[in-house]
Amino acid sequence: MKLIKIDTGHFMCDGGALFGVIPKKMWAKQYPADDDNYCKVTMRSLLIDTGDRKILIDTGIGQKQSEKFFSYSRLFGDGELIQSLKENGYTPKDITDVLLTHLHFDHCGGCVEKTDQGDLRPTFPNATYWVSEKQWQNYLNPNIREGAVYFPENMMPVFEKGQLQTIQEDGNWLPEVEIKIYDGHTSGQIVPIVNSPQGKIAFTGDFIPVVPSVRLTWVAAYDIQPIVSIQEKEAFLQKAINENITLFFEHDFYHECCSIEETNKGIAVKERFSLEEFTSSN
């Protein structure tokens, strides 16, 4: 098995949105912000190559939106999904599965591409796209807060091509991948846990977006049910300690992975390291 980081770009995120009710005086010591209160965040996908299957977790924001949209999103840097795949020796045709944590635009925007003629088509022609059934229903019938982050053009071309499958519940999705489903951030968010030769590693998505968010009460303002987020996080982190699960961060600009531990002050970050350091261990 190979685990490969796929860079799809970076954007600026409001620090108050990222850390919710936590005062800036506290979170700014842990995660830098500019004078406008914006923080650098990344969109870091994960490619799992099992030999038979090439599984891509999340696809970033994509390239098909308008210039106005990209300006508003405050994107920066050179990361891009297809180019990053190419740099690692893969093409869109190689991908067999696209596993989506959820369908907010910065996680699934790369699922669909625009042709030279302006038509929309799935970016990965040979892939099955997977999302939880709860999240799919939320996408089709969004609440008033999430309606603005679900774009029809990101997923409907996939659905119309018959390439979409839904996951009903927690469990072993594949022998190498366990699925946990959580509802605090958005209904039916998936956290995949990969059982690799070097140990278990979880793709935390928006469940735990950056390293400082490991703290139980540090919950993003984006979360639909913040109390549920805290409860889910506490149970997950205890599982991570019991099973020695490494965390892989989709959005932390500065750190890719961390381990956690139980301390006399509660659950805390133990070590920070890169995915390459994790895969080269043992």
* Model pLDDT for residues 17-65, shown as the tens digit of each residue: 999 999 999 999 999 999 999 999 999 999 999 999 999 999 999 888 7
How many CA atoms lie within 13 Å of 88's alpha carbon, on the beta-carbon side? 25
The residue-averaged pLDDT of 131-138 equals: 98
Residue ranges and CATH numbers for the domains of the chain are 2-279 (3.60.15.10)
Q: What is the dihedral of CA 112, 115, 121, 127, to 10 degrees?
A: -70
- For 110-255, strand residue ranges (E) read 112-114, 120-122, 128-132, 164-167, 171-174, 177-182, 189-196, 199-203, 246-248
What digits encode the pLDDT tens for the residues 218-242? 999 999 999 999 999 999 999 999 9
Residue 48's pLDDT is: 98
Helix (H) or strand (E) holding 198: none
Closest CA to 185 of 213, 161, 160, 165: 213
Helix, strand, coil percent content, the chain, rounded in steps of 5: 30, 30, 40
Exposure pattern of 131-147 as b/e (b: 16+ CB <10 Å)? Answer: bbebbbebbeebeeebe
Mean pLDDT of 254-277: 96
Q: Report pLDDT digits (tens) over 240-249.
A: 999 999 999 9
Q: Give mean pLDDT, residues 189-208.
A: 98
Span 127-144, mean pLDDT?
Answer: 97
Percentage of residues in the chain having pLDDT higher than 70: 98
How far is residue 147 from each of residues 84, 107, 143, 150, measured CA to CA in Å?
30, 15, 6, 6
Give me the pLDDT at residue 72, please: 64
Question: What is the end-to-end Cα distance of the chain in Å, rounded?
Answer: 14
